[in-house]
Amino acid sequence: MKFRKKPVIPAIVEAEQYKPGMEDGFETRYQDVKKPHCTWEIQCSPKEIPIQVPYIYLKHEKKFIRSDDWIIKYQNGRETLMRNKEFNTTYEKVETQEDY
């Protein structure tokens, strides 16, 4: 899909929203979770559970990616990640060749 940066200069970029399978790998991170219905303080201490966080390499740097992030490829070959909200306020979809 093609997108145009809005509102001023129409810079065309290639962009694709992250889908499982696009990552370069996963890293195990630990998330704190409180136990439900605990009564004593010692029982209420957070428990760490492992989660797998996807990442991609951009310019030899590991970037952790969220499910709604966009991978943007500029015309000069540079790639970057952008959060969904920022992407949607910065770019608009290019529908036809005339929109370039």
Q: For residue 95, is pLDDT > 70?
A: yes
Per residue in 42-61, pLDDT tens?
556 667 888 999 999 998 89
- Quote the pLDDT of residue 43: 58
Helix (H) or strand (E) holding 65: none
Q: For residue 23, is pLDDT > 90?
A: yes
**Residues composing the chain:** 100
pTM of the complete model:
0.69
Q: What is the number of structural domains in the chain?
A: 1
Q: For residue 76, is pLDDT > 90?
A: no
Structural domain contains residue 50: yes
Q: Which residue has the tokens 């499982």?
A: 20
> Residue 15's domain spans which residues?
2-94
Structural domain contains residue 85: yes
Which tokens hold the place of 37? 């219905």
At residue 14's C-alpha, the angle toward residues 8 and 23, to 5°, is 130
